[in-house]
Structure 1
Amino acid sequence: MEMWRGIALILVGSIFVDNFVLSKFLGICPFLGVSKKTSSALGMSGAVTFVMTLSAAVTWPIFHYILEPNNMSYLKIIAFILVIAMLVQIVEIILKRFIPSLYSALGVYLPLITTNCAVLGVTILNIDTGYAFGEAVVNAFGSGIGFSLALVMFSGIREKIEACDIPKAFRGIPSALIAASIVSLSFAGFTGLIG
């Protein structure tokens, strides 16, 4: 019972309290770039969540069974980037073949998942926090869901703002940053939820 409670706390914490975009400010590039349309945001959310979860599942054993026993921990960032790049290529091939419209909508942001600091950040955080394998995968999945939740909320707000008649000085990036701060405030309300 205690194990499930710990897993639930990791999941809720990674989604709401320690949201990668809104509290750690990682993954801002796709957050601002893909959030113009909710359909693109949903596609990017799924791809990032998939890559985050799988990268955690692959990098954890690489670190604990290959790098750490051979005193090569200093190579973890390079190894993790290679794993993430491989997974992004797999996602790109699958989307291009089976969902070409989403592949086109994501455009340049799909290959940029390789260098998305949120994806790399979750793999490094899992190692530095000392999570066990299952906890690391749950944390990565929760972080992906948190990224997705923030991205979809933000894209919905941004679509509504674009439909409104706002002053010229606030169109585009200024209104996007104001909307991002409002979404960030909504997640800040969860601070202290998990002690």
Structure 2
Amino acid sequence: MSDASYWSIFINACLINNFVLAYFLGICPFLGVSGKRDTALRMGAAVTFVMLVSSMAAFGIHALLQWVDAPYLELISFIAVIASTVQLVEMFIKKMSPALFKALGIFLPLITTNCAILAVALFQTNRGYGFLQSIVFALGAGVGFTLALVLMAGLREKLELAKTPEMVKGTAITLILAGLLSVCFMGFAGLFN
């Protein structure tokens, strides 16, 4: 078990080593769903929920597979849990908010292949986190993911009102903004050493 405090685990996952802006994991929904703040916030909430559920399941799976001496089954087990959780979230959103389901489009089922979610499960087991530490780590990663999506969505909404040269409109300016956000988040690197 790691001796890191819950607060440092949360801040580390949320700001210092943000999965999107530091590790560049989960870029597909980051670029695809960050057009509107409302959609970005809801996508972030869905990803955070999947991260929390898969983190708890990954902790149990890791312990079970270590006990039966079958650690080689971890990766495929993590992927199965993530896919199942995403299917449940997709059915829930489709039933409760058809408009949100339509707004998220293809990016909702793509949560299954979001490497940030698999990274949470793999990082927590490799770091030796306990159960509560794993939950805090997943929550921090989810909040950081949501923060990155909402910040990018806010910037893109403001950019629609700005005069930008034709050469950089669209994908080019979006990638420039993503790079600038990433550089800004590098400023958190010295928070917890």
* Coarse TM-score class (shorter-chain normalised): over 0.9
Structure 2 vs 1, CA of residues 168 and 139 (structure 1 numbering), >3 Å: closer, same or farther?
same
Give the structure-2-normalised TM-score.
Answer: 0.96
Match of 1:22 in 2: 21
| Cα deviations by residue, 1:140-179 (Å, 9 ceiling, x for unpaired) | 0100000000110011001111222211110111000111
Instruction: Give the 3-state SS of the residue equivalent to 1:166 in structure 2.
Output: coil
Match of 2:153 in 1: 155
The structure 2 residue matched to 1:103, chosen from 97, 101, 104, is 101
Match of 1:90 in 2: 88
C-alpha distance in structure 1 between counterparts of 2:69 and 2:171, whole Å? 46
| Cα deviations by residue, 1:72-128 (Å, 9 ceiling, x for unpaired) | 211211110100011001101110011111111100000000000000000000001
Match of 1:190 in 2: 188
Gaps of 5+ in 2: none
C-alpha distance in structure 1 between counterparts of 2:4 and 2:81, whole Å? 30
Give the structure-1-normalised TM-score.
Answer: 0.95
C-alpha distance in structure 2 between counterparts of 1:20 and 1:176, whole Å? 18
Q: Percent identity?
A: 45
Match of 1:42 in 2: 41
Match of 1:141 in 2: 139
C-alpha distance in structure 2 between counterparts of 1:103 and 1:51, whole Å? 16
Number of residue pairs the alignment of both structures matches? 192
What is the one-letter code of the residue matched to 2:110? L
Gaps of 5+ in 1: none
